[in-house]
């Protein structure tokens, strides 16, 4: 993760809902909420509580489930709090108790003395682990800001690139009119998740679904076309480069050579679409999206065309057609 550090307080303040919600609250050690979370992993501290601190992953979020909570109760009965004191000598970001479990009073007090946040969630240990790993995967993912428009066309996430004024927003507006969805206009933030997936969203979620149309001004897509015309984020699966028509440039007419653009180390297919009066860009982009879906399903139109031409030549039909042509005038 680059830029601003991610703290325990940031973790508590994340606006998550549904299957991503962590439902965390702080029950002790509030003075330590500014502690930074530097590692996108969690640790079960059973051995550390017993006093074995060698190779202890103290830089991770410490997860306390039913087993760890039962062990703390045992330490309380045995009046053995030295292990807990030694545990808190490690500079850990925070401790999280699942199942709404309560730490012992000794544990809570030592956490307060060491300014270590203690959090609580009603989720099970397994469910919380799955959710917080997803959160960390997003928060710590490499990210980058792009100038362009991100739309979803037939389920394919497409970034429209091109110089200012080439018609990116107008093309995206026509796609929305045809039933597709806008993710972000003008400023797109992309993140590399799991090392091979590029997720895109608006860099500013408050204005990402607004669009600037020259001569018209700022419009709100969700208000004009409804919430079905927008989505918050989408995987980037295709880049469409819009550029002014250049008669001297040889554009790909077969599509047999796939070009790629590297985004955060991931190669994403890219196509160049020349812009000039009379070309219906939305229909071209729709066809590109459907063609990309076919490629993902294992069918390549250009490859199939080449194979059919070769078969036609091999059967001798091409020679028959050539010889039958009358070139006399």
**Mean pLDDT for the stretch of residues 140-162:** 94
Q: Is 304 a catalytic residue?
A: no
* Per-residue model confidence (pLDDT) at position 276: 86
Q: What phi and psi, each to the nearest 5 degrees, are found at residue 93?
A: -65, -50
Measured CA to CA, the distance from residue 119 to residue 29 in angstroms comes to 9
Cβ atoms of 243 and 166 closer than 8 Å: yes
In the chain, pLDDT over 70 holds for what percent of residues? 92
Cβ atoms of 110 and 90 closer than 8 Å: no
In what helix (H) or strand (E) does residue 177 lie, and over which residues does it extend? helix 168-177
- Cα 233–234–236 angle (5° rounding)? 135
Q: Of the listed 35, 131, 143, 168, which one is catalytic? A: 168
**Mean pLDDT for the stretch of residues 286-300:** 88
* Per-residue model confidence (pLDDT) at position 53: 85
Residues 163-208 pLDDT 10s: 988 889 999 999 999 999 999 998 999 999 888 899 999 988 788 8
Cβ atoms of 241 and 270 closer than 8 Å: yes
Residue among 220, 209, 157, 167 nearest 185 (CA): 209
In what helix (H) or strand (E) does residue 158 lie, and over which residues does it extend? strand 156-161
User: Bigger pLDDT: 214 or 27?
Assistant: 27
**Tokens encoding 220:** 């709100």
User: Bigger pLDDT: 94 or 276?
Assistant: 94
Q: Is 253 a catalytic residue?
A: yes
* Per-residue model confidence (pLDDT) at position 122: 96
Q: Which residues contact 174 (CB under 8 A, 6 or more apart)?
A: 281, 282
Q: Which residues contact 76 (CB under 8 A, 6 or more apart)?
A: 104, 105, 106
Q: What phi and psi, each to the nearest 5 degrees, are found at residue 37?
A: -100, 115
Helix (H, G, I), strand (E, B) or coil at 109: helix
* Per-residue model confidence (pLDDT) at position 81: 85
Q: Is 276 a catalytic residue?
A: no
**Mean pLDDT for the stretch of residues 296-314:** 75
Q: Of the listed 35, 143, 185, 186, which one is catalytic? A: 186
Q: Of the listed 253, 276, 326, 327, which one is catalytic? A: 253
In the chain, pLDDT over 90 holds for what percent of residues? 59
Measured CA to CA, the distance from residue 59 to residue 37 in angstroms comes to 8
Torsion of CA 273, 274, 279, 282, to 10 degrees: 30
Measured CA to CA, the distance from residue 77 to residue 329 in angstroms comes to 110
Residue among 121, 122, 59, 57 nearest 91 (CA): 59
* Per-residue model confidence (pLDDT) at position 130: 95
User: Bigger pLDDT: 309 or 22?
Assistant: 22
Q: Of the listed 147, 163, 178, 279, which one is catalytic? A: 147
pLDDT band at 51 (very low <50, low <70, confident <90, very high): confident
DSSP string, 246-291: -TTS---SS--S-EEEEETTEEEEEEEEEE-TT--HHHHHHHHHHH
Say whether pLDDT at 252 is over 80: no
* Per-residue model confidence (pLDDT) at position 322: 56
How many CA within 13 A on the CB side of residue 181? 16
Helix, strand and coil content of the chain, in percent to the nearest 5, comes to 35, 25, 40
Q: Is 319 a catalytic residue?
A: no
Set out the domains of the chain in order of their start, with CATH numbers. Answer: 8-139 (3.40.1390.20), 143-304 (3.40.50.300)
pLDDT band at 34 (very low <50, low <70, confident <90, very high): very high
Say whether pLDDT at 321 is over 70: no
Say whether pLDDT at 2 is over 50: no
Find the radius of gyration of the CA atoms of the chain: 28
């Amino acid at each position: 993760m680059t830029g601003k550090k991610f703290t325990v307080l940031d973790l508590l303040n994340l606006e998550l809902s549904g299957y991503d919600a962590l439902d965390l609250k702080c029950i002790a050690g509030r003075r330590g909420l500014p502690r930074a979370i530097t590692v996108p992993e969690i640790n079960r501290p059973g051995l550390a509580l017993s006093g074995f601190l060698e190779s202890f992953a103290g830089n991770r979020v410490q997860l306390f489930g039913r087993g760890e909570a039962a062990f703390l109760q045992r330490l309380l009965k045995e009046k053995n709090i030295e292990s807990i004191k030694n545990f808190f000598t490690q500079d850990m970001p925070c401790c999280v108790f699942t199942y709404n479990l309560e730490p012992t009073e000794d544990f809570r007090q030592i956490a307060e003395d060491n300014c270590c946040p203690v959090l609580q969630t009603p989720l099970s240990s397994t469910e919380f682990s799955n959710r917080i790993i997803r959160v960390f995967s997003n928060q710590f993912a490499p990210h980058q800001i792009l100038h362009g428009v991100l739309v979803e066309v037939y389920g394919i996430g497409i970034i429209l690139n091109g110089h200012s004024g080439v018609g990116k927003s107008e093309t995206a507006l026509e796609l929305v009119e045809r039933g597709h969805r806008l993710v972000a206009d003008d400023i797109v933030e992309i993140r590399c998740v799991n090392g091979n997936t590029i997720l895109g969203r608006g860099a500013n979620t408050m204005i990402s679904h607004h669009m600037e149309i020259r001569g018209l001004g700022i419009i709100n897509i969700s208000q004009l076309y409804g919430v079905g015309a927008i989505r918050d984020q989408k995987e980037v699966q295709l880049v469409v480069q819009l550029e002014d028509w250049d008669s001297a440039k040889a554009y790909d007419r077969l599509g047999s050579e796939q070009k790629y653009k590297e985004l955060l180390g991931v190669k994403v297919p890219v196509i160049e679409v020349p812009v000039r009066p009379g070309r219906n860009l939305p229909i071209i982009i729709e066809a590109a999206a459907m063609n990309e879906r076919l490629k993902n399903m294992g069918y390549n139109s250009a490859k199939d065309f080449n194979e059919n031409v070769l078969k036609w030549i091999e059967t001798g039909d091409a020679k028959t057609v050539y010889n039958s042509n009358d070139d006399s005038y």
